[in-house]
Structures are given as C-alpha cells and as structure tokens.
C-alpha cells in the first residue's frame, strides 16, 4: 500500500482547484432554500459523474439528496456535504458593504456552497488514494439537503442511509482553524397554525375570533415558560403569518414557527409537550383552533475524541493557509463592518500567543489547539449521523475573524479567494484524516468502540413524526 507521503493530497487539490471553486461559485450564484436545492444537486451530480463516482439520486425520497460512491471495499468512509442557503441574505460577492443582489432574496449566509464542495473535494482526493493503492475501502459523498431548516440528514438517517458507514467526515466554514470536539443541542421545529373567524373590528368585533390574538397569547405563555425549563435549553420563535395588514379586520388566520433546543432529545420532547399545551390554551382562550405542522428535527451531536485527535494532527501537520495582501486588505474592510461585541468575542477563540502572532491581521492562518470537549449552543443534523457512525468535523478560516454566521458578510466572502482557500484547506484536512484511517484501520475500530461506550446501549431514534 502506498503511503500518504507518496500520495500528495494538496497537489491533487491544487490541480483541480479551478474545477472545485467554479462549482462552489455557481452554487453561490444560485442560492436555494431547504429542499429546493435543485440547481445545487444538479451541479453535484454532474461533478460526481465527472470524477468517476457511481451516483444515486433521490436518496430517502428526497429530491435534492444525492450519493456518489466509489469502490467496493467492505469499509465505508463517508464525506457529508450541504448546499442550502438562507432567506433574506442576498449580497453581492466581494463587497465590503451591505449590497443585496435581490432585496429579500436568499444567500449563502452559512457558507454551504463552500461546505458541500469542500466535502466533495475531500471525497475526490480520498477516491484517488483508494484508486491508486487498491485499498479495500469504499468512498462516498453524501449531498445532504436542508441543514438549515428541515434537517435532511435526519430524514436520511431514519431511512437507514448511513447504517453501513464506518466513518463520517465533514466540516464547516468559520473564521478559525480547529477540530470540532463538540457536543450540540438537539432540536425540534414546528409551526403552530391558528384558525379563527373574521369580522369587522369596529362594527361587529364580538363576532370575530382572532387567530392573531391566539399567536400573541401563545408567545406570552412560552415566554413565561422560559423560567421553568433547564438553563441549557433554547426556545426561539418567529411570527410567520399575521393574518393580514388591516387592523380593522379580526384576523381569521395566523401562524408562528417555533424552534426548541436542549442537550438531549428527551428534554426537547418534554419542552415541546409543554409548548403544545400552551398552544392549546391560547386556542381555548380565543375560541380558535390550532394545528401543528412538523418542520424539522436534529439529534444532539456525539463527539468522537479518537477521530478528533487524528483530525487535529492533520491540522497541526498541514502547511498553513497563505493569504495575500489584497485578501488581507479586503478582510480589514469587512472587519470594520462588524460590531465591537463580535470582534471582542472572536479573540477568545485564540491563545494569547496566537493573538500576538496574528497581530492586526483579520484572517487566521493559525491552528487552534484541540480544546476539551465542550457544548456548541447550536444544532446540526450531523448529530443524527453521529449516533449511527463515528463522526468528526473541522472548521477552517473561510471568513474574516469575528464574522458571525448567518450574516451578509459571510455571503460576501463566500465567493472570494478567501473562501476558496479555506474550502480547499478543509478538503485537505478531511482527506488526510480519511487516508490516515485507511492506513491505520485500527483507528476506525477504536472510534467505533468509543461511540458504543458513549451511547451506553442507547439506540438512535429520530423525533420525526411517524404519521
């Protein structure tokens, strides 16, 4: 078997750099929301076929889920990609001021154009290694829709798509280079739809039953509930339909979208049940009816220290990203658009020595030391995969230091050489992590043993309703 030194991942990625960055930019130019990623999945299908992968479409009956596979070895290594965008984040690329391409349009405010193509690039490199060495492994790329809203991987996991995977690898764009040795919050999202009866608000208000009143009462009730749930839980809501714009009409329909998070799925279930009772109470108070519609759910992320240490070693050994003066200059302009709180919080990511080394540079080329396992107070449907197979992720510097995700600044940088460099760096780290595991298969067995111990007999279950 060839060794990693003989097979240079970075050289391969450099040779195909234009190919990868072009796909990423094209997906950036066509931002699509959850389960609507038809352009993106079409580009990924085309790219997978170009690189010699066998392609399966409509995975788990999801039109925008896809799988590319190479090899027939008994051990399966999977790379997880995403490509969904976010609403209301349209932004011109490479601009250091807020400049929407389309008012109210979507944009890649979480960098999933980079995420999906970076994972694909890593799969291409791992495939080339298996092809060259005849290693008894199968390499897969999963194109996973709706991470932001809808949790595509949860649907895929429920259908057994990852059951034969021995190891899953992914990443996420950010402003620092690190191994994601993290847990995350499980979540559940639903829309509560209230129906009442319209009436003239002045001439016959007694005939009306206001659905908007019900939404407001529900929100008040949930806000009182916050005092009586565990501190680690999070509850968010957005009024997505107010019933109209005329105050002279008793609104017959209104709806509110809720997202519930907690460290464990059973805690999410308990909070959700209490919120359901509040919704029913709001309907009773207003003599309206309420219907709940499921939107999405994600499991808590199960970290894997065995794999995290392997990935950290790849980060420590890799040559750092090199940013040129033009990139640093543009980064400075973006940095000046950030609020002081984001800037201050960002520097806590780095060690004091790294802060000194970075100086006034607004792009990171240093590697954050692997930290003790911690909680990420967010959610990801990668969590569902992590319950089924050992999973590891990294972040790389695709963004300006201090940039919060889900902002126009992310969109702006996502179609620049800064984002491209971070994407290819992530692909290198993921690919070399996979190659290390191919050359040292005992690591995969150790990672599986660790997952088994962490789960302690608990089986994967999804909160997706069965009816």
Residues 226 and 148 in one domain: no
- In 3D space, the residue among 326, 368, 330, 328 whose CA is nearest the CA of residue 347 turns out to be 368
Q: Which residues contact 394 (CB under 8 A, 6 or more apart)?
A: 171, 177, 178, 179, 180, 311, 315, 426, 429, 430
Residue 168 lies in a domain: yes
Residue 460 lies in a domain: no
Q: What is the pLDDT along the chain (467 residues), one digit of tens a residue?
A: 444 447 999 999 999 999 999 999 999 999 999 999 999 999 999 999 999 999 999 999 999 999 999 999 999 999 999 999 999 999 999 999 999 999 999 999 999 999 999 999 999 999 999 999 999 999 999 999 999 989 999 999 999 999 999 999 999 999 999 999 999 999 999 999 999 999 999 999 999 999 999 999 999 999 999 999 999 999 999 999 999 999 999 999 999 999 999 999 999 999 999 999 999 999 999 999 999 999 999 999 999 999 999 999 999 999 999 999 999 999 999 999 999 999 998 988 999 999 999 999 999 999 999 989 999 999 999 999 999 999 999 999 999 999 999 999 999 999 999 999 999 999 999 999 999 999 999 999 999 999 999 999 999 999 999 86
Residue 257 lies in a domain: yes
Residue 173 lies in a domain: yes
Residues 398 and 270 in one domain: no
Residues 170 and 319 in one domain: yes
Domain count within the chain: 2
CA distance 212 to 397: 44
Which strand (E) or helix (H) includes residue 75?
strand 75-82
Residues 418 and 394 in one domain: yes
Which residues, listed in sequence order, are joined to residue 137 by a DSSP beta bridge?
75
Residue 360 lies in a domain: yes
Alpha carbon separation from 120 to 20, 81, 318 (Å, rounded): 9, 7, 19
Domain boundary among 250, 279, 298: 298
Q: Tell me what pLDDT residue 130 has.
A: 98
Residues 163 and 45 in one domain: yes
Q: Which residues contact 119 (CB under 8 A, 6 or more apart)?
A: 79, 80, 81, 82, 141, 169, 170, 171, 427, 430
Residue 467 lies in a domain: no
Domain boundary among 278, 298, 318: 298
Q: Tell me what pLDDT residue 455 has.
A: 97
- What end-to-end distance do the CA atoms of the chain give, in Å? 50
Q: How many residues does the chain have?
A: 467
Residues 213 and 275 in one domain: yes
Q: Tell me what pLDDT residue 285 has.
A: 98
Q: Which residues contact 53 (CB under 8 A, 6 or more apart)?
A: 68, 69, 70, 123, 127, 141
Q: Tell me what pLDDT residue 2 has.
A: 42
CATH classification at residue 321? 3.40.630.10
297: phi then psi, degrees, rounded to nearest 5: -155, 150
Domain boundary among 298, 315, 330: 298
User: Helices (H), strands (E): how many in the chain?
Assistant: 15, 13
Residues 264 and 151 in one domain: no
Q: What angle do CA 232, 233, 234 make, to 5 degrees?
A: 125
Q: Which domain holds residue 431?
A: 9-183+301-455
3-state secondary structure of 23: helix
Residues 264 and 169 in one domain: no
- In 3D space, the residue among 454, 299, 448 whose CA is nearest the CA of residue 384 turns out to be 299
CATH classification at residue 262? 3.30.70.360
Bridge pairing between strands 178-179 and 54-57: unpaired
Residues 125 and 59 in one domain: yes
CA distance 126 to 283: 55
Q: Tell me what pLDDT residue 1 has.
A: 43
Residue 462 lies in a domain: no
Q: Which residues contact 326 (CB under 8 A, 6 or more apart)?
A: none
Residues 85 and 140 in one domain: yes
Residues 239 and 312 in one domain: no
Q: Tell me what pLDDT residue 241 has.
A: 97
Residues 434 and 358 in one domain: yes
317: phi then psi, degrees, rounded to nearest 5: -90, -25
Alpha carbon separation from 178 to 173, 182, 362, 369, 370 (Å, rounded): 11, 11, 17, 7, 7
Residue 466 lies in a domain: no
Q: Output Rg (C-alpha) for the chain, integer angstroms.
A: 23
């Amino acid at each position: 078997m060839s060794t990693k030194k003989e097979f240079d991942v970075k050289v391969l990625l450099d040779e195909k750099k234009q190919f990868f960055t072009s796909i990423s930019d094209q997906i950036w130019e066509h931002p699509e929301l959850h389960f609507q990623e038809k352009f993106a999945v079409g580009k990924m299908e085309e790219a997978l076929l170009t690189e010699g992968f066998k392609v399966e479409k409509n995975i788990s009956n999801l039109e925008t889920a896809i799988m590319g596979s190479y090899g027939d070895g008994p051990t399966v290594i999977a790379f997880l990609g995403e490509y969904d965008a976010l609403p209301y984040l349209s932004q011109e690329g490479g601009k250091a001021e807020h400049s929407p391409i389309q008012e109210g349009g979507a944009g890649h405010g979480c960098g999933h154009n980079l995420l999906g193509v970076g994972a694909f690039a890593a799969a291409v490199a791992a495939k080339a290694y298996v092809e060259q060495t005849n290693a008894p492994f199968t390499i897969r790329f999963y194109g996973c829709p709706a991470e932001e809203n809808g949790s595509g991987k949860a649907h895929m996991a429920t259908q057994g798509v990852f059951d034969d995977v021995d190891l899953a690898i992914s990443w996420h764009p950010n402003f620092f280079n690190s191994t994601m040795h993290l847990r995350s919050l499980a979540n559940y999202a639903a829309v509560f739809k209230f129906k009442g009866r319209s009436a003239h608000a002045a001439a016959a208000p007694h005939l009306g039953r206001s659905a908007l009143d019900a939404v407001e009462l529900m929100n008040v009730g949930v806000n009182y509930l916050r005092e009586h749930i565990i501190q680690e839980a999070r509850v968010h809501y957005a009024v997505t339909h107010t019933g109209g714009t005329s105050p002279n009409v008793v609104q017959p329909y209104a709806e509110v979208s809720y997202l519930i998070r907690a460290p464990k799925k059973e805690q999410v279930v308990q909070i959700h049940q209490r919120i359901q009772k509040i919704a029913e109470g709001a309907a009773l108070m207003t003599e309206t009816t309420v219907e709940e519609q499921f939107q999405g759910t994600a499991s808590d992320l199960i970290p894997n220290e065995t794999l995290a240490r392997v990935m950290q070693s790849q980060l420590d050994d890799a040559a750092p990203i090199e940013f040129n003066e033009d990139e640093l200059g543009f980064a400075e302009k973006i940095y000046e658009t950030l609020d002081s709180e984001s800037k201050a919080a960002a520097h806590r990511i780095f060690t004091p020595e790294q802060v000194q080394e970075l100086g006034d540079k607004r792009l990171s080329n240093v590697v954050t030391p692997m930290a003790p396992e911690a909680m990420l107070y967010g959610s990801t449907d990668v969590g569902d995969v992590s319950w089924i197979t050992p999973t590891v992720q990294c972040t790389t510097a695709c963004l300006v230091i201090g940039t919060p995700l889900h902002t126009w600044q992310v969109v702006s940088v996502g179609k620049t050489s800064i984002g491209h460099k971070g994407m290819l760096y992530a692909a290198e780290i993921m690919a070399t992590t996979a190659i290390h595991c191919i050359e040292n298969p005992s690591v995969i067995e150790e990672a599986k043993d660790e997952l088994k111990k962490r789960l302690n007999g608990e089986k994967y279950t999804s909160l997706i309703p069965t009816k």
